[in-house]
Structure 1
Amino acid sequence: MLRDWQRGCVTSAIDHFNYHKHFFCLATPGAGKTVMAATVGKMLLEAGKIDYIVCLSPSRTICESVRATFKKLLGRPFSGRIGSVGVSLTYQSLLGGNHSVLADLVNSRVFVVLDEIHHCSGSEFVQGNAWGIELLRQISSLATFTLSLSGTPWRTDGDPITFASYDGSGLGLSYQWKYGLSDAVTDKVCRLPKVIALDAVKITKHAYGPPKSYSSIAEFLKDNDNSYLVLLSNESLTFEVLKRGVERLTKLRKISPTAGGLVVAASYSHARFIKQMLEDYFSQKVVLVSYKDDDSIRQIEEFRQGTDQWIVSIAMVSEGVDIPRLQVCCHLSATKTELYFRQVLGRIIRVTKDQTDECFFYTLAEENLISYAKRLEQEVSGSYIKENLTEEKVVANPVEGMPGKSKEPHDISVYLEDGSEFKTNGSSSADEDLVGLPSALVSSALSIDGIRERVIRVLMNSQPAL
């Protein structure tokens, strides 16, 4: 059964295709865009307006999820083989030249679904990325109709999104349907997010000369000699973020025993460290998924259907992956773009029948991340719904309860895998390969004297003003 917004969007798309070729749906992560797209495809098939459906998405994980949804809703094979009604491919698969499946569709009427289209850039006037170039070359002439989907419709490089239309200034995105997070929360389609940012009362740096103290994470990062990766590598700060996530998830599982949590790590080695901490200190059942593992898609599916508490990933469960039982996220990634922040948040906001209508997002109080959380309140039209911080408290000892740790403030050795923040470039096998595994270990020492919580309750739309 379709939700009201899906039903409205389907009707709008079918009407739009009577006169136009391209339809852009902007809907918050977790709203159910894939089901809506499959319904449009089903109606076009039944009306005799198309012969075949091609779905394109940015990763193998999303690709498989889309394939399963279309197969289930259409009630027909969706494998790309003889007798199937469609195929689900990655954008990356287009880079090898003319795809064999697409080559056979030259004389067919084809409905093309472009999932997470913001990954593709370029137009007839602007040179785009590799994925966008191939879309324009192979898909533009092939498609009878295209349906572009995105919950985060902007790019950090500022390039135009492929097949998207913009206003006269070139800055405002034109779309045919919009369904924001404020709408989704009101309709009880998505949960109300609560972002909890942990700040340090005092950070003392002991390496490289006399000790140097900072009163917050923001002050620490204003020093050009310091990096966010140092904080992510700090055992005490990691412990504090995970402790709060575990405590929250434990409470939620008393209501819904299958509620799960997601940790987004900075690298594969970082993910392994987090997995060990969750298992050794908190006695949690944890699954680590990575593109390094050939059976990662199976692991994700088993976690989706299972009851383990946590899934740890680098970028593999950050976008487009549907695990509805996720309700808590610990964001410990080195990637601090707004697009990535919102996509990760989208993994925990999907409403389920047996879970509460709130979700919880834990991170460090880095200024960019805080600004993104506050900007969630911004409506697309430019209006704001703001709330003051509802809670601010100081935890005197950040390591209390950690096995084997002193209850006094102390130095903590930090082993930093020296690397830089990554920028996506169109690779479908994202994950740790995009992060770029560091090559050297740098040792420094920090003392963390206390933790301050900043809780931001959010009731907002998922997109900034366009």
Structure 2
Amino acid sequence: MPEGFAPRDWQERFVRAYQTNLKKNFLLEACTSAGKTAGALHAFDSLKNVLDWRFLVVVVPAEHLMRQYAQDAFNLFGLNLFYAGTVRSLGRLPTPEELLNQCYHGLVISYQWLSYSNNSSLLLNNLSRTVAGKVFLILDEVHHTSSDLAFGQACERAFPDRIVSHRLMTSGTPFRSDNRRILGNWLTYTPVEENAYQCVPDFQYRLADALRDEIIPPFAFVTMEGEFSYRRGRAEYNGRTFTNATNEQDLTDALNTAIDVQGGWVKEAILWAHGRMKLDRAKGLPECATYVRVPTIAAARQMKERIRNLTGEDALVVVSRDDDPNSTSNSRSGQDPSEQIEQFAAETGHGARSWIIGVGMLGEGVSIRRLKYRIHATNIRAILSFMQDLGRLLRCFPENAPEPVETLIPAHPQLVDLAVSALNEIAHVVREKEENEGRENRGGADGEGDSQSSQQLTANFMPIASTGEIGTHIVDGEEIESEYANVAEWMITNTTFGRYWHKTPAHLAQMLMEDKGLFDLYRMEYEKVVNQISNDQGSASTVIPDGFPSEYKDYLPTKKIAFASRAANKKAGRLVYLLYGNPSQEEMKEKVAQIHSIAKRRNCLKNDTFIGHEGWERIYKWLCDRIAEAPTRIRGIEDL
């Protein structure tokens, strides 16, 4: 065994099980961050001489993972794997004979490369000349392949039984969302009911196992609720929530309004993560970072600006060719996305950036150990994507004392269910009766078959405004009631016990639920502080908006309405002057009315209802923020 590699217990058990049950085709299911790569390479390195495997071929789900796999093979086992793909000067891939002569042990390619043009046939010919029957094949994240689609067909064409000695297929999520078998000829599917078949892994190491063995950090979910206003067709909807939705369309519209980058929900989500990272910096962990998942490239650009405006911090936007096929790079500098990710992952100290925004690039295999938080600001609700996104956080950082990690999700019932069931076993069941039903609507020709890939907002839908407030916490499949979560959040920052707590607030709340005596003790302290704050606020009345006189706090509500509405009207006029110079009186009146209408919508206020002084104060503050952004970021009413 190589000196640089110390196998984990499960990896040793897997290799023993593999050697005992040496099947032609073997499926290893191991959760993200458990060490699938090391486990698969450990099997090859342990048995290559015994079984006379002369050549290793690894196929990975994305081109940017080829170098990473080759690097791991060299660092862990001293294996040299060629990963550069087609050599331009040769116009082809080097042959196995050429690679073996140069002291290579094999090669790493991608499913994309294999399925392109006639690459699979050329590789088959090359393998058959010198290493037929002596090839050990690793199909990494094999759920990306299906016998019905291009990736799977290319694999079956390039690696038939006469060429390959053994096939080891690995996956952290061995299921698809499109009701297709992964590789029906190579994987085992057993009948579970009429016309329904379940994929059966040969060895399993699940998320719950890794959590028990402390291979991954403790993790929890935080839900964020809110109220949403939006327009669908000619109808305007206000005060909608995830709990009062009556149908799937209402839930979808509420979710799409929540993730609108300019809305209040996203603002609160950013501030939540920013507050968490400020606590990390105070603890001496300035490298901790947040991953924000968004649905589109446009949303990624807007999110970068929103983060800068709210926190003053820069964010890295990562866009791959899969996200934007018409682009060869995701930055004006032309830097490769993989290089940007590697650079971000390597940053340390106070100069390390705290935010990374992705559309689809941060998938399987991408390792950024310092990610501690994730914001689910996308409308994707498929279990495959959800689990893969969770996996981006499950790296131990720092390695000697791993920090707990948290994911913030909209309180959409489907996302809450996914969070609650994250530790549960997920079976891949194919129902053959439905095999062709709706096939044209279930993803593209390759990949994971995520039928809920990023939905585009429909033409007759427009988000108007949203709010955001923390809801339940979820840990170990259990929803934590807010009374326990609130006390736990307070304890983390205000008590000695909390400051030395080394898991998430949700884990602390879970402990408080089990220890009523401890909960009652700290709840009394918490309520004492909260009541004191309430009393202080009551004596000082409401915070007076900037520019309002100090005596405003003593005005009667009717007088406050009159003053605040006049102040808001003046700010609207000021905004018109900044945007349009010196308009005519008629134009001024028209544009002020338009601005007021937009301001009310953005603050979840109806145009045709009575507005109290608090509503006018919100409008006033909103207009002050817009004035600060004009005329650089806001050039006209259409930008509001």
- For 2:169 and 2:447, how far apart are their aligned partners in 1? 19
1:240 equivalent to 2:268? Answer yes
| Matched residue, 2:558 | none
Aligned match of 2:125: 103
**What are the superposed Cα offsets for residues 325-361 of structure 1, whole Å, 9 maximum, x if unpaired?**
2121111123210010001001101223155442101
Q: 1:114 to 1:445 in 2, by over 3 A?
A: closer
Q: Is the 8 A contact 2:81 2:105 kept in 1?
A: yes
CA deviations 1:106-142 (Å, max 9, x no partner) are 14111111111111123xxxxx221112222222333
Output one character per residue of 1:420-453: Cα deviation in whole Å (capped at 9) or x when no partner: x98354159x99xx758x6997773534355242
Gaps of 5+ in 2: 1-5, 84-93, 321-326, 330-334, 428-440, 479-640
Task: State the distance in 2 between where 1:449 and 1:168 align.
Answer: 48
- Give the AA of the match of 1:133: Q
Q: Paired residue for 1:407? A: none
The CA distance in 2 between the partners of 1:455 and 1:98, in whole Å, is 49
TM-aligned CA deviation for residue 251 of structure 1: 2.3
Q: Residue 231 in 1 paired to residue 234 in 2?
A: no
Equivalent residue letter for 1:366: H
| One of 112, 118, 134 as aligned partner of 2:154 | 134
- Give 1:101 deviation, angstroms: 4.3
Quote the residue 1:315 is aligned against.
360
1:12 correspondence with 2:34: no
Q: More helix by proportion, 1 or 2?
A: 2
- For residue 58 of structure 1, the aligned residue among 42, 61, 70 is 61
SS at match of 1:262: strand
1:372 to 406, 413, 418: 418
Cα displacement (A) at 1:165: 0.5
1:75 to 61, 78, 101: 78
* Matched residue, 2:290: 261
Distance in 1, matches of 2:470 and 2:35, equals 36
Whether the aligned pair in 1 keeps the contact of 2:113 and 2:119 (CA below 8 Å) is no
Superposed displacement of residue 29, structure 1 = 1.0
Scaled by the length of structure 2, the TM-score of the pair is 0.59
Q: Secondary structure at the match of 1:333?
A: coil
- Corresponding position of 1:188: 214
C-alpha separation in 1, matches of 2:172 and 2:39: 14
Indicate yes or no: 2:295 matched with 1:249. no
1:54 touches 1:110 (CA, 8 Å); kept in 2?
yes
Q: Is there any run of 5+ residues in structure 1 with no aligned partner, and where?
A: 123-127, 382-420, 461-466
Structure 2 counterpart of 1:149: 170
Deviations 1:373-420 (A, max 9, x none): 111243569xxxxxxxxxxxxxxxxxxxxxxxxxxxxxxxxxxxxxxx
Partner of 1:281: 310
CA displacement at 1:9 relative to structure 2 = 1.1
2:475 aligns with 457
Match of 2:190 in 1: 167
Quote how far apart the aligned CAs of 1:186 are: 1.0
Matches within 5 A, 1:403-414: none
Deviation at 1:61, TM superposition (A): 2.2
Relative to 1, partners in 2 of residues 1:48 and 1:435: Cα closer, same or farther, differing over 3 Å? Answer: same
Aligned residues: 409
Are the counterparts in 2 of residues 92 and 427 from structure 1 also a CA contact under 8 Å? no
| Identity within the alignment, % | 22
TM-score by length of 1: 0.80
Cα distance in 2 between the residues matched to 1:458 and 1:139:
41
Provide closer, same or farther for how the CA distance between residues 354 and 446 of structure 1 changes in structure 2, counting only shifts above 3 A.
farther
In structure 2, relative to structure 1, the CA distance for the partners of 1:138 and 1:250 (3 Å cut) is: same
Contact 1:214–1:220, Cα closer than 8 Å, also in 2: no
Change (3 A) 1:4 1:150: same
Which residue identity is paired with 1:87? Answer: L
Question: How far off is 1:224 after superposition?
Answer: 3.0
The match for 1:398 is: none
2 CA distance for matches of 1:37 and 1:184? 17
Distance in structure 1 (CA, Å) of the matches to 2:28 and 2:232:
51
Q: Give the secondary structure class of the aligned counterpart of 2:82.
A: coil
Judged with a 3 Å threshold, the aligned counterparts in structure 2 of structure 1 residues 452 and 362 are, in CA distance, closer, same or farther, namely closer
CA contact (8 A) 2:301 2:317 kept: yes
State the SS of the aligned residue for 1:224.
helix
Give the aligned partner of residue 324 of structure 1: 369
- Matched residue type, 1:32: G
In 1, the alpha carbon distance for the partners of 2:380 and 2:171 equals: 20
CA contact (8 A) 1:196 1:362 kept: yes
Specify the structure having the higher radius of gyration (Cα).
2
Q: Which residue of 1 aligns with 2:37?
A: 34
Find the counterpart in structure 2 of residue 302 from structure 1: 343
CA contact (8 A) 2:59 2:110 kept: yes
Structure 1 residues 359 and 207: alpha-carbon distance in aligned structure 2, compared to 1, 3 A threshold = same
Code of the residue aligned with 1:305 in structure 2: it is A
Higher relative contact order structure (alpha carbons within 8 Å, sequence separation ≥ 6): 1
Q: What SS does the corresponding residue of 1:321 show, helix, strand or coil?
A: coil
Residues 1:423 and 2:455 are matched in the alignment: no
Deviation at 1:206, TM superposition (A): 5.8
State whether structure 2 residue 247 is matched by structure 1 residue 222.
yes
Q: Does 1:270 align with 2:299?
A: yes
Contact kept, 8 Å, 2:265 with 2:468, in 1: the verdict is no
Q: CA separation of 1:210/1:37 partners in 2, compared to 1, >3 Å: closer, same or farther?
A: closer
| Contact 1:197/1:362 (<8 A) preserved | yes
What is the rounded CA distance, in whole Å, between the counterparts of 2:385 and 2:245 in structure 1?
A: 23
Moved more, 25-34 or 96-105: 96-105
Which stretch of structure 1 is more off in the superposition, 220-229 or 451-460? 220-229
Structure number with higher strand proportion: 1
Paired letter, 2:106: G
RMSD: 2.9
**Secondary structure of the equivalent of 2:81?**
coil
- State how far apart, in whole Å, the 1-side matches of 2:180 and 2:248 are: 31
